Amino acid sequence: MLVHSHSGLRWLVLGLLIYAIYNAAVNKTSYEKRDKMVNLFAMISLHIQLLLGLILYYTSGNVSFDSGWMKNAVTRFYGMEHLLGMLLAIIVVTVGRKMAEKQEVVEHKNKKILVWYTIGLFLILASIPWPFREALNGSWF
């Protein structure tokens, strides 16, 4: 059940990130409370997803550190690649948001969000166990 929640929540996270990126790209001249909240909700959704992922990391059968776990594509992906990729993405988004909030000029705020959130999005997309990555047994939900 938790794995389905984690998988389904990815769509909300991706939607919020894409919306925040779009908002930063088209909104060049203003940075209002609504913009700040969009960026904050995107970041919070990532942190909630991280908490669910960490619970799964310690309870899932896909992660085991017995001998030869690096030779197995599934245990290597879930035990190292997925975790590190997602952690890096969350750090990038969190640092990017913090850097954007410190900017005085509105255009610089939006540019920081655009750049850092886009980098985070690409890291996330590369780290998701998509169904077309057959060896990983991923699912759409």
Planar angle of CA 8, 127, 77, nearest 5 degrees: 105
**Residue 141 clears pLDDT 60, i.e. is over it:** no
Q: In a 3-state reduction of DSSP, which class is residue 138? A: coil
User: What pLDDT is recorded for position 19?
Assistant: 98
Contact by Cβ (8 Å): 56, 1: no
pLDDT of residue 65: 66
Measure the CA–CA gap between 114 and 118, rounded to whole angstroms: 6
What average pLDDT does the structure give for the chain?
Answer: 89
Q: Calculate Rg over the CA atoms of the chain.
A: 17
Share of the chain above pLDDT 90, in %: 62
Nearest to 123 by CA among 94, 95, 96, 84: 84
- Least confidently predicted of 27-41, 63-77, 100-114: 63-77
> How much is the pLDDT for 140?
55
Q: Alpha helices, DSSP H only, in 27-105?
A: 33-59, 73-76, 82-102
Q: For residue 132, name the pLDDT band (cuts at 50, 70, 90).
A: confident
What does the alpha-carbon distance between residue 138 and residue 74 come to, in Å, rounded to a whole number? Answer: 10
pTM: 0.88
Using the structure block, give the residue that is written with the tokens 């085991």. Answer: 64
Q: Residues 9, 141: contact at Cβ < 8 Å?
A: no
Q: How confident is the model at residue 60 (pLDDT cuts 50, 70, 90)?
A: confident
